[in-house]
């Protein structure tokens, strides 16, 4: 039996949780039958049903009985709504039993779960227009890839995580790999690409710098290559900004990976990478302040498909094996291995170093230098792309910006880790 204060708290919280969802329903005018008061009362009913069930063991069935009543009520609402109003939408109808369940959570003192569920539900309801736009912009092939990708992320990966050993396993001689960390890296990078692609589909066409940033999260080298080829077709100073934002996105993504898998190394490279990003943005801003808005469409084939995830996994494994072999046969040349890996994928270098630092016996300082070498290699690839594929104006203004950013990062790295 609850005290008076707890009773009052649970009553107010349950009504607030229901009202939050109800406000969205009334404000967006996506319903005619259930608003703030109705949904708040249904949530309150869920909380009260739990309180009643705790009065006596003979009343333990009350929450279940009330839930069946709410489900029956929603069924009748849907029937008469479909019959009289000719409206077949069921979003609001499904919200009613969900609100009741959130009320049950509060009755069982699961406050965080109830509030989190209400907030996420409200966000999902508010995203109605945006979600429809996303779906309309995606092709059938992309939707199929997204569904398969989701299956792997949220079904196959959790099963593999449970079944795979937590300790590193030896594959070749003394070459060890932690399957759990390996799968985690592949999923994280794939999710970043997946989310970036969806954002690009919706917002990327509005501004070239934003397009460059989102493209950089997917594949910065491919983004700069696309900008370089298009700069010959339609010159614009904003290509400089797009190149800078794409490179900045690559650096920030790598910094995020380091934070996830090696916080100590992250603390060493955070300042150099942030400085490089600032140099990119400041220089590009001054070179394009008076430029007019310009649009460009960057095309990525299957950016979040299973094939792209497997490709990144293969790149990651290859970089890990390369760094390991070089460290075994020529420890002094391990920086060359990181550089070669960075030419292929800087994210692979960051992930392989961060997740295997302890296994390979690397210190934090050595790992920080190797990660930065991988980032520098990716930037050098962009310089080569600008020299060979971009217009003279684009390459002439873009290359000094990249070089200046690299110098700033190198100097701060030396000052930070010495």
- CA distances in angstroms from 169 to 182, 319, 328, 366, listed in the order given: 12, 17, 18, 24
SS3 labels along the chain = CCCHHHHHHHHHHHHHHHHHHHHHHHHCCCCCCCCHHHHHHHHHHHHHHHHHHCCCHHHCCHHHHHHHHHHHHHHHHHHHHHHHHCCCCCHHHHHHHHHHHHHHHHHCCCHHHHHHHHHHHHHHHHCHHHHHHHHHHCCHHHHHHHHHHHHHHHHHHHHHHHHCCCCCEEEECCEEECHHHHHHHHHHHHHHHHHHHHHHHHHCCCCHHHHHHHHHHHHHHHHHHHHHHHHHHCCCCHHHHHHHHHHHHHHHHHHHHHHHHCHHHHHHHHHHHHHHHHHHHHHHHHHCCCCCCCCCCCCCCCCCCHHHHHHHHHHHHHHHHHHHHHHHHCHHHHHHHHHHHHHHCHHHHHHHHHHHCCCCCCCHHHHHHHHHHHHHHHHHHHHHHHHHHCCHHHHHHHHHHHHHHHHHHHHHHHHHHC
Q: Which region, left, alpha or beta, applies to residue 140 given φ > 0 means left and ψ of -120 to 50 means alpha?
A: alpha
pLDDT confidence of residue 379: 94
The pLDDT of residue 407: 95
Read off the tokens for 154.
């949220």
pLDDT the model gives residue 273:
95
Spatial distance between the Cα atoms of 200 and 208, rounded to a whole number of angstroms: 11
| 385 contacts 394 by C-beta, under 8 angstroms | no
Residues present in the chain in total: 418
Q: Report the pLDDT value the prediction gives residue 33, as an integer from 0 to 100.
A: 61
Q: Which residue has the tokens 């109705």?
A: 38
Helix axes 111-126, 4-27, angle to 10 degrees: 10
Between CA 301 and CA 290, with CA 382 as vertex, the angle to 5 degrees is: 95
| Cα-Cα-Cα-Cα dihedral sign, residues 392, 393, 397, 398 | negative
Query: Would you state the pLDDT for residue 141?
Result: 67
Q: Kindly state the tokens that stand for 399.
A: 């290359």
User: What's the confidence (pLDDT) of residue 191?
Assistant: 73
pLDDT for position 102: 92
Q: What is the reported pLDDT for 60?
A: 86
pTM listed for this prediction:
0.68
Which tokens belong to 68? 């069946």
pLDDT, residue 30, reads 53
pLDDT of residue 204: 53
**N- to C-terminal Cα distance for the chain?**
62
Q: Output the 3-class SS for 189-240.
A: HHHHHHHHHHHHHHHCCCCHHHHHHHHHHHHHHHHHHHHHHHHHHCCCCHHH
pLDDT averaged per 10 residues in sequence order, the chain, 418 residues: 75 88 70 73 91 85 89 80 63 82 90 86 71 61 69 71 67 67 75 71 64 81 83 76 90 92 91 94 69 51 59 79 77 82 88 81 88 93 90 87 93 85
Distance of CA 137 to the CA centre of its chain: 20
Q: Residue 308: its pLDDT value, please? A: 67
């Amino acid at each position: 039996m609850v005290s008076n204060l707890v009773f009052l708290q649970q009553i107010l919280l349950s009504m607030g949780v229901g009202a939050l969802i109800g406000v969205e329903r009334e404000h967006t005018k996506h319903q005619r039958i259930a608003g703030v008061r109705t949904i708040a009362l249904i949530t309150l009913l869920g909380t009260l049903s739990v309180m009643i069930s705790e009065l006596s063991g003979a009343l333990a069935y009350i929450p279940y009985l009330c839930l069946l009543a709410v489900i029956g009520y929603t069924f009748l609402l849907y029937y008469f709504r479909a019959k009289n109003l000719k409206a077949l939408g069921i979003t609001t109808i499904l919200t009613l039993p969900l609100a009741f369940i959130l009320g049950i959570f509060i009755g069982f003192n699961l406050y965080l779960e109830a509030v989190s569920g209400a907030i996420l539900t409200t966000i999902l309801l508010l995203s109605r227009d945006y979600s429809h736009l996303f779906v309309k912009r995606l092709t059938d092939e992309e939707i199929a890839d997204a569904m398969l990708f989701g299956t792997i992320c949220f079904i196959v990966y959790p099963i593999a995580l449970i079944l795979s050993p937590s300790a590193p396993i030896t594959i070749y001689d003394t070459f060890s790999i932690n399957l759990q960390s390996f799968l985690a890296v592949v999923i994280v990078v794939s999710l970043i690409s997946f989310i970036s692609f969806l954002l690009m589909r919706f917002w990327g066409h509005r501004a070239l710098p934003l397009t460059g940033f989102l493209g950089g999260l997917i594949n910065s080298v491919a983004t700069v290559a696309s900008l370089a080829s298009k700069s010959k077709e339609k010159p614009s100073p904003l290509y400089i900004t797009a190149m800078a934002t794409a490179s900045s996105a690559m650096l920030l993504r790598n910094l995020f990976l380091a934070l996830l898998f090696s916080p100590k190394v992250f603390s060493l490279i955070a300042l150099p990478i942030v400085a490089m990003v600032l140099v990119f943005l400041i220089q590009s801003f001054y070179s394009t302040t008076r430029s007019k808005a310009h649009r460009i469409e960057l095309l990525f084939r299957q950016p979040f498909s299973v094939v792209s995830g497997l490709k990144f996994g293969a790149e990651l494994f290859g970089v890990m094996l390369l760094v390991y072999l070089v460290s075994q046969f020529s420890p002094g040349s391990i920086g060359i291995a990181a550089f070669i890996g960075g030419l292929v994928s800087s994210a692979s270098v960051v992930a392989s170093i961060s997740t295997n630092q302890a296994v390979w016996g690397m210190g934090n300082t050595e790992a920080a230098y190797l990660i930065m070498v991988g980032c520098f290699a990716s930037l050098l690839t962009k310089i080569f792309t600008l020299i060979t594929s971009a217009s003279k104006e684009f390459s002439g203004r873009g290359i000094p910006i990249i070089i200046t950013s690299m110098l700033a990062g190198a100097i701060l790295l030396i000052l930070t880790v010495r």
